[in-house]
Amino acid sequence: MSRIKSKAVSLLIVCGISLWGCSKETHETAATPLVMVTQPNRSDNEQKSYAGDVQARQQTALAFRVAGQVIERYVDVGDQVKVGQVLAKLDVKDAQLQLNAASAQVENAQSAVKNAESELKRFKELLPSHAVSRSQYEAVDNQYQAALSALKQAQSNYAVSRNQTGYNQLISNKNGVITARNIEVGQVVSAGQAAYQLAIAGDRDVVIGIPEQAIGEIKVGQAAWVTLWSKSEEKFAAYVREISPAADQSRTFSVKVALREGSAVIQLGQSARVFFNQTQNNLLSVPLSSVSANDQQAYVWVVQKDHTVHKVPVTVGAYGRDSVPILSGLQPQDYVVIGGVHLLREKQKIQPIDRENRAVTMSAGASR
């Protein structure tokens, strides 16, 4: 009986040791996380894109040429306008009074010219018989010339007053779309104060902002293509038309990209994205999720031959839509962690897998 008990105890001890070993192995396996990795992409043709919006190639501010109080406005933001269309009116009472005064001055000057002409005619008839002296005749002639000059001045003042009355109407000088309105009925405006902003009908541009580290890669005339957020499946041929010589407050350079096609169907203000194809030799790039930073120093996690991770500082280029170009710090044969970089620590052991969840075997070149 004791021999049977002894064998049973031995069997339990062996099973316990085996179970403890399996549990330890399972725990160690579970403690090593599965981490998705990839090698840097090497491509000589990099595609960069920038967001922007559609604007009219030509825009102008419309303003009254005289001061006054707004009594009528006929258009608002978004309205289509045509050449010669009245957009707003000012109160014409004061202008009409000035016009009446100018008209009265013209009539007065005309009467003065008529009297001076009659006087000159009479003196001219008396001059041959020496009834008047030459000096008296010349004085009357000068009075006539002065009356003619006063009449011309009065007529000019009348023409100016008549124009001023006409300037109380704000008239569109181009076909286009109203993009801004700065006046209200009852508001007193000064001469030259912008009342409306008009986007002139015709060609369209997509205006984008290029960061200062990438502006040197953009040239006037460079080919591009445009997509709209509302019609992402359609592409429109375009080219760089104008590059701002100075950066704005956001430290970006304004670039105008002209559309070669599609101006008739693309609406002002639509959101767009401009794509450029740029050639760079030996360009390495990694997914956006691979790059993190500490104290303004970008870094990636590189997997070592022993399946541990090592933090490697890198120099990055301009961020793209889905990837980041790596200018220095990486080798083509390196494996970098794709996601979860903030959860890793130096020398941590991982189980590297690819995008298909397959185990990755580190090559000899992966060790640093």
Q: Where in the chain is the domain with CATH 2.40.30.170?
A: 48-57+203-279
- Here the tokens at position 125 are 């008839």
Residue 304, CB-side half-sphere exposure with 13 Å CA sphere:
11
- Here the tokens at position 119 are 């006087």
Please indicate whether residue 36 or residue 323 has the higher confidence score (pLDDT): 36
- Scanning 127-236, the segments in alpha helix (DSSP H) are 134-166
In the chain, % of residues over pLDDT 70: 87
Please answer whether residues 82 and 172 qualify as being in contact, where contact means their C-beta atoms are separated by less than 8 angstroms.
yes
For domain 30-45+283-366, the CATH architecture is Beta Barrel (2.40)
- The highest-level CATH class for domain 93-166 is mainly alpha
- In 3D space, the residue among 235, 196, 201 whose CA is nearest the CA of residue 55 turns out to be 201
Q: Calculate the CA 92 to chain-centre distance.
A: 40
Query: Identity (one letter) of the amino acid at 211?
Result: P
C-alpha to C-alpha distances, 133 to 81, 129, 329, nearest whole angstrom: 68, 10, 108
Strand order in the sheet with 68-73: 169-171, 86-90, 68-73, 188-189
Query: Identity (one letter) of the amino acid at 112?
Result: A
Look at the alpha carbons of 230, 232, 233, 236 in this order and tell me if their dihedral is positive or negative: positive
Fold (CATH) for 61-91+168-199: OB fold (Dihydrolipoamide Acetyltransferase, E2P) (2.40.50)
For 126, the 3-state DSSP assignment is: helix
| pLDDT score of 279 | 55
How many other CB atoms sit within 10 Å of the CB of residue 172? 20
Q: What is the pLDDT of residues 108-117, one digit of tens each?
A: 989 989 998 8
Residue 25 pLDDT exceeds 70:
no
Strand partners, 363: none
Residue 6 pLDDT exceeds 70:
no
Residue 28 pLDDT exceeds 50:
no
Q: What is the pLDDT of residues 229-288, one digit of tens each?
A: 887 778 888 999 999 999 888 889 999 999 887 666 788 888 999 998 765 556 788 998
**DSSP code of residue 40:** P
Q: Where in the chain is the domain with CATH 2.40.50.100?
A: 61-91+168-199
Ranges 34-48, 193-207, 221-235, 312-326: which has the least confidence: 34-48
**Rounded Cα–Cα distance for residues 103 and 98 (Å):** 9
- The highest-level CATH class for domain 48-57+203-279 is mainly beta
Q: What is the pLDDT of residues 119-131, one digit of tens each?
A: 888 888 887 888 8
Residue 100 pLDDT exceeds 90:
no
Burial class (CB in 10 A: 0-12, 13-18, 19+), 29: exposed
Ranges 104-113, 143-152, 158-167, 326-335: which has the least confidence: 158-167
Please answer whether residues 253 and 209 qualify as being in contact, where contact means their C-beta atoms are separated by less than 8 angstroms.
yes
Ranges 70-79, 197-206, 217-226, 258-267: which has the least confidence: 258-267
Average confidence score pLDDT of the chain: 83
Helix H or strand E segment including 109: helix 93-126
pTM for the structure as a whole = 0.50
